[in-house]
Chains A and B, each alone.
Chain A
């Protein structure tokens, strides 16, 4: 079946540094990818929609200058957390639909756990 892979699985960084998380669709092309974050004991919250070849669409309250999203190819989207701070520590998850219809299933990456010291 379709697979979505994230890298890294976990990362620890110092406050003020930037961290890049990659999301790849391994056996299908994804014109759209979705980025979520999840704080402990909470549900997934949609951050942004990544569109290949165009600007990402951010949800209300998500700073687009802090969470840079690039979807340069049909199999790769990246999320860069710029100038990370401890409050950015979270579980970041990407998702990609293999089709263009809402009738199909979505595939999720394994998640990337970011810890900012």
Chain B
């Protein structure tokens, strides 16, 4: 089973709203990722968690706040977003970070629209 699940599938929010994206995997993976993807562009890495600790923040604005409550769950808290933040947000997981054969498996994504 290589399934990563994400909720919600779609989200529309105003610039003053606070919302959260959720991601879950039950593959025993120790690394989890958030990516942002705009139309016809490749995914852009935002954050990496390894063993529930933040390993990489790709200079993401503070209006995006990641959280890893346990090894299976990853959240992305959103606050005071801008319309240009509208995108597909993808979660991924892999066996390890900086290990061998670290294939990343992606979830179906959350389509976010900021009005």
Does B bind A?
Answer: no
**Interface residue ranges, A against B (CB under 8 Å):** none
Taking beta carbons and an 8 Å cutoff, which residues of B are in contact with A?
none
